């Protein structure tokens, strides 16, 4: 652990500024291939999975991205790490813009990803030792004592040393998740993007994985971008929360503020739709009816207006700008539930 | 094992599972997946089966439906459906019930619906028993049931394929198909796990409305305590293949008696009033069901285990009307 401590003490360049700054980011996907569009003689259409997203993430903190499926939260995570191309906008890491020159190797070392499905994101034909030391080989660090590194990583994520020779099918959901964590922290990154880190886990195991992430954050000074739809978990583990709807941040701010003073009707609806584990406290069913519209048919004005109980004429016409409730708590709604 | 309430006259269960044990033959040995499970679904009620992965909840559902995997076998016990002994029924007799008087909704509608057949075709196919109905009549029935589960423009939807629907709509279609024959019992195996909370709320509301409308009894299998609390009348808690506690929903949530139930409830982050970074967990691992110990199955993880838990199987202790738990601590309390 001495090496770990030494590395975390290395002061990040520009330590007053944010670790990650995202400005007006847009990710768009073509609706058909370029060849097919040309053959059919029409201009290709696009859909915007992420639209005009801006946020900053301070070192050592956790930001939760919350939204329903199709809200663009995974696309945003993938765009930040360079797995899908950025259409416009900026991603700045420690003040520098890695995206301009392609994602540099240094950036890839500092930003790691934990993928959604722990079992299918691990190659079934490789042992745990091989899986968790793969990052060293990819980054040309294979001269290190890989067996020792594997032992260190397994201990760090709380798995017994003899797990090194196991294969992914011999792991439970929680253990596979721990291997995913070990892969992500192998190169001591500064930021980990965790896509649904606890989806599909039982509540007791979910607690174990989140506690592991919290401990590693404390020990290694990590920052997290947690992509999830589980608001019950977000409340406990994140410092800041952003609510996404059809690619936009409709509300963002300190987690406590989002839960205590939600402004956007969508946030209010999502909070009301959470299951209440109490037979005498029913969740608020009327809160959100219907489903997220298709991104190919983006509603005019405020994208949420077809499902919004408070929608008025202006909501159908104009995209709401960003309103500030406080310096950190922002939303995009003309008629917020809480005023500044 | 009759519960006090059931002893009364007029008790009319749709489903009774008595002392059911199921084992799996595997290359590495015999897995005792379910051991001496008792369960009742009174007519018109919703019973929730709660348990973590590997607790045997899906095995229980598949055993009731007669859909067990090839290496699984029922080692003992009875499954009674409306008084019919399912274990003594011929395969043809079971086929006569299954899909008509008892139906099932699976977790992932994307894999339970046929991707290469329009949903209307699939819905007509499953009405193969109705020889007196024309295709047009079957189609009309299909559209009617889709309307009942809240699908807009059902006539047009019948010609679409499953990939053209969203996840919530697919699950509505699966539920509509299961209700087509107005079954007495609907087994729902984690029907909302793959859905967003907003859709989950809508599906739960739908199941509750359908119970009112069709008087269908539902066996609802879930690992999500919040969903079970909202929907179910009665809860059965499964741990490592055993029913450790069962009772009315309020008893289980307000007065959980078994240490496992208590730990499970304590782990749910939605139940923590104060924000805390360190979340509660249940220490230890689920036991290996190839070597089941003599004593209490939860003993290795139980914070309050004492001497008898290692060697003596804990009895089912009746606590309140229809509330019982399998724990030595409770007998102790009684004696003292």
Q: What percent of chain B has pLDDT over 90?
A: 65
Q: How many helices and strands, by DSSP H and E, does chain B display? A: 14, 12
Question: Which residue of chain A comes nearest to B265, CA vs CA?
Answer: A277
Assembly ipTM: 0.84
Top mean-pLDDT range of A38-42, B229-233, B288-292: B229-233
B267 contacts in chain A (CB < 8 Å): 203-204, 206-207
The pLDDT of A253-268, averaged and rounded, is 95
Q: Between residues A336 and A5, which one has the greater pLDDT? A: A336
Q: Name which of A203, A273, A282 is nearest B267 (Cβ-Cβ).
A: A203
Structure tokens at B248: 């009315």
| Residue B7 binned pLDDT confidence (cut-offs 50, 70, 90) | very low
For strand B234-239 and strand B242-248, is the pairing parallel, antiparallel, or unpaired?
A: antiparallel
> What is the model's pLDDT at position B3?
44
The pLDDT of A307-326, averaged and rounded, is 93
* DSSP character at residue B306: -
**∠ at Cα B17 (B11, B19), nearest 5°?**
120
> What is the model's pLDDT at position A6?
40
With tokens 């007065």, the residue in question is B255
Q: Which residues pair with A243 in a beta bridge?
A: A66, A251
Q: Between residues A9 and B241, which one has the greater pLDDT? A: B241
Q: Give me the phi and psi of B33, to 5 degrees please.
A: -70, -40
Of A57-66, B114-123, B161-170, least confident by mean pLDDT is B161-170
> Does pLDDT of A125 surpass 90?
yes
> Does pLDDT of B1 surpass 50?
no
Structure tokens at B166: 């969203």
| Residue A100 binned pLDDT confidence (cut-offs 50, 70, 90) | low
> pLDDT, tens digit, for every residue of B38-73?
999 999 999 999 998 889 999 999 999 999 989 999
Q: How far apart are CA A107 and CA A109, in angstroms?
A: 5
Of A114-128, B114-128, B239-253, least confident by mean pLDDT is A114-128
The answer to whether the Cβ–Cβ distance between A276 and B226 falls below 8 Å is yes
Question: Which residue of chain A comes nearest to B249, CA vs CA?
Answer: A279
A202 contacts in chain B (CB < 8 Å): 52-53, 223
The pLDDT of B141-155, averaged and rounded, is 89
| Residue B6 binned pLDDT confidence (cut-offs 50, 70, 90) | very low
The pLDDT of B98-112, averaged and rounded, is 89
Q: Between residues B202 and A113, which one has the greater pLDDT? A: A113
The pLDDT of B148-154, averaged and rounded, is 86
| Cα radius of gyration (chain B) | 21
Q: Which of B247, B230, B185 is nearest to B211 (CA)?
A: B185
Sign for the pseudo-dihedral over CA of B244, B248, B252, B257: negative
Distances (CA, A) of A59 to A19, A64, A66, A190, A283: 5, 14, 20, 8, 36
CA distance B304 to chain A (A): 18
The answer to whether the Cβ–Cβ distance between A278 and B229 falls below 8 Å is yes
> Does pLDDT of A12 surpass 50?
no
* DSSP character at residue A246: T
The answer to whether the Cβ–Cβ distance between B279 and A231 falls below 8 Å is no
| Residue B309 binned pLDDT confidence (cut-offs 50, 70, 90) | very high
Is there a contact between A36 and A57 (Cβ–Cβ < 8 Å)? no
Give chain B's contact residues with A (Cβ, < 8 Å): 52-53, 166-169, 193, 196-202, 205, 223-227, 229-230, 249-250, 253-254, 263-265, 267-272, 275-282, 285
> Does pLDDT of A336 surpass 90?
yes
The answer to whether the Cβ–Cβ distance between A275 and B263 falls below 8 Å is no
Q: How far apart are CA B309 and CA B328, in angstroms?
A: 7
With tokens 């992965």, the residue in question is B53
Residues 6+ apart with CB under 8 A from B53: A172, A173, A202, B223, B286
The answer to whether the Cβ–Cβ distance between B200 and A210 falls below 8 Å is no
Q: Between residues B120 and B167, which one has the greater pLDDT? A: B120
Is there a contact between A129 and A204 (Cβ–Cβ < 8 Å)? no
Q: Name which of B166, B250, B272 is nearest A291 (Cβ-Cβ).
A: B166
Element (H, E) at B212: helix B197-214
Q: Name which of A69, A235, A276 is nearest B229 (Cβ-Cβ).
A: A276
Q: Between residues A287 and B230, which one has the greater pLDDT? A: B230
Structure tokens at A314: 């202006």
HSE-up of residue B225 (Cα within 13 Å, Cβ side): 27
The count of other CB atoms within 10 Å of the CB of residue B296 is 26
**Secondary structure (DSSP) of B133-180:** S-HHHHHHHHHHHHHHTT-SSHHHHTTS-GGGS-HHHHHHHHHHHHHT
> What is the model's pLDDT at position A202?
87
CA distance A205 to chain B (A): 7
> What is the model's pLDDT at position A61?
95
Question: Which residue of chain B comes nearest to A208, CA vs CA?
Answer: B281
The answer to whether the Cβ–Cβ distance between B277 and A237 falls below 8 Å is yes
> Does pLDDT of B2 surpass 70?
no
> pLDDT, tens digit, for every residue of A195-226?
999 888 888 899 999 999 999 999 999 999 99
Q: Which of A46, A65, A47, A45 is nearest to A55 (CA)?
A: A65
Rounded to two decimals, the pTM is 0.88
> What is the model's pLDDT at position A5?
41
Q: Between residues B111 and B259, which one has the greater pLDDT? A: B259
Structure tokens at B325: 């738990």
Question: Which residue of chain B comes nearest to A268, CA vs CA?
Answer: B198
Q: Name which of B52, B270, B280 is nearest A232 (Cβ-Cβ).
A: B270
Q: Name which of A207, A280, A289 is nearest B267 (Cβ-Cβ).
A: A207
CA distance B75 to chain A (A): 27
| Residue A104 binned pLDDT confidence (cut-offs 50, 70, 90) | confident
> Does pLDDT of B96 surpass 60?
yes
The pLDDT of B110-120, averaged and rounded, is 91
Work out the mean pLDDT of chain B and round it to a whole number: 90
Q: What percent of chain B has pLDDT over 70?
A: 95
Give chain A's contact residues with B (Cβ, < 8 Å): 68-69, 172-173, 200, 202-208, 210-211, 214, 229, 231-233, 235-237, 255-256, 269-270, 273-280, 282-283, 285, 287-289, 291
The pLDDT of B254-281, averaged and rounded, is 92
> pLDDT, tens digit, for every residue of A183-196?
999 999 999 999 99
The answer to whether the Cβ–Cβ distance between A274 and B264 falls below 8 Å is no
Distances (CA, A) of A67 to A41, A204, B12: 36, 23, 44
> What is the model's pLDDT at position A102?
57
Of A22-36, A88-102, A267-281, least confident by mean pLDDT is A88-102
Q: Say whether A137 sits in a helix, a strand or coil.
A: helix
Give the E-state strand segments of chain A in sequence order. 20-30, 46-57, 62-66, 88-93, 111-114, 191-195, 223-228, 240-245, 248-254, 323-324, 330-331
Residues 6+ apart with CB under 8 A from B321: B4, B5, B248
Strand ordering across the sheet containing A223-228 = A111-114, A191-195, A223-228, A62-66, A240-245, A248-254, A330-331, A323-324
């Amino acid at each position: 652990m001495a090496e770990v401590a030494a590395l975390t003490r290395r002061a990040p360049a520009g330590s007053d500024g944010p670790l990650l700054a995202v400005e007006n980011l847009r990710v768009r996907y073509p609706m058909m291939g370029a060849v097919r569009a040309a053959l059919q003689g029409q201009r290709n259409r696009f859909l915007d999975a992420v639209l005009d997203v801006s946020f900053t993430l301070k070192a050592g903190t956790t930001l939760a991205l919350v939204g329903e499926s199709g809200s663009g939260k995974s696309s945003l995570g993938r765009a930040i790490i360079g797995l899908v191309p950025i259409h416009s906008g900026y991603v700045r890491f420690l003040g520098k813009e890695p995206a301009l020159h392609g994602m540099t190797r240094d950036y890839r070392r500092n930003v790691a990803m934990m993928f959604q499905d722990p079992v299918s994101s691990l190659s079934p034909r490789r042992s745990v030792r091989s899986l968790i030391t793969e990052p060293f080989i990819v980054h040309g660090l294979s001269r290190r004592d890989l067996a020792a590194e594997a032992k260190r990583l397994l201990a760090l994520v709380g798995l017994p040393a003899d797990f090194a020779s196991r294969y992914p099918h011999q792991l439970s959901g929680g253990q596979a998740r721990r291997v995913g964590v070990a892969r992500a922290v192998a190169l001591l990154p500064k930021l980990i993007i965790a896509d649904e880190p606890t989806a599909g886990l039982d509540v007791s195991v979910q607690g174990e994985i989140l506690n592991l992430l919290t401990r590693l954050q404390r020990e290694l000074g990590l920052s997290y971008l947690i992509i999830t739809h589980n608001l019950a978990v977000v409340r406990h583990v994140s410092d800041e929360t952003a609510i996404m709807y059809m690619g936009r941040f409709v509300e963002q701010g300190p987690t406590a503020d989002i839960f205590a003073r939600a402004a956007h009707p969508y946030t209010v609806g999502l909070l009301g739709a959470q299951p209440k584990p109490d037979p005498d406290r029913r969740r608020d069913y009327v809160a959100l009816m219907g489903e997220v519209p298709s991104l190919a048919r983006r509603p005019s004005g405020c994208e949420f207006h077809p499902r919004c109980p408070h929608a008025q004429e202006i909501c159908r016409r104009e995209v709401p700008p960003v309103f500030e409730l406080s310096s950190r708590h922002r939303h995009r709604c003309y008629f917020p539930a809480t005023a500044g | 094992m009759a519960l006090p309430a059931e002893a009364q006259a007029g008790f009319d269960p749709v489903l009774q599972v008595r002392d059911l044990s199921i084992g799996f033959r595997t290359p590495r040995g015999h897995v005792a997946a379910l051991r001496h499970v008792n369960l009742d679904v009174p007519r018109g009620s919703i019973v929730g089966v709660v348990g973590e992965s590997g607790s045997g909840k899906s095995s229980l559902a598949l055993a009731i439906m007669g859909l067990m995997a090839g290496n699984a076998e029922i080692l003992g016990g009875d499954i009674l459906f409306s008084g019919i002994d399912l274990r003594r029924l011929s395969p043809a007799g079971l086929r006569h019930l299954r899909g008509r008087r008892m139906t099932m909704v699976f977790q992932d509608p994307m894999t339970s619906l046929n991707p290469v057949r329009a949903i209307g075709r699939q819905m007509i196919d499953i009405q193969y028993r109705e020889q007196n109905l024309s295709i047009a009549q079957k189609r009309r029935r299909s559209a009617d049931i889709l309307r009942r589960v809240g699908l807009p423009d059902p006539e047009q939807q019948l010609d679409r394929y499953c990939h053209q629907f969203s996840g919530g709509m697919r699950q509505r279609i699966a539920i509509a198909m299961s209700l087509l024959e107005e079954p007495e019992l609907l087994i729902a195996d984690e029907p909302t796990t793959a859905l967003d909370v907003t859709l989950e709320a809508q599906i739960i509301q739908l199941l509750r409305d359908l119970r009112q409308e069709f008087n269908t009894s539902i066996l609802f299998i879930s690992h999500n305590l919040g969903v079970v609390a909202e929907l179910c009348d009665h809860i059965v808690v499964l741990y490592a293949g055993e029913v450790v506690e069962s009772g009315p929903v309020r008893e289980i949530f307000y007065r959980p008696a078994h240490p496992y139930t208590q730990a499970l409830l304590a782990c749910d982050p939605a139940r923590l009033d104060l924000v805390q970074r360190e979340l509660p967990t249940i220490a230890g691992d689920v036991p290996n069901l190839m070597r089941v110990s003599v004593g209490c199955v939860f003993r290795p993880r139980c914070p309050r285990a004492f001497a008898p838990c290692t060697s003596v199987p804990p009895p089912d202790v009746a606590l309140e009307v229809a509330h019982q738990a399998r724990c030595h601590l409770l007998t102790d309390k009684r004696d003292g």
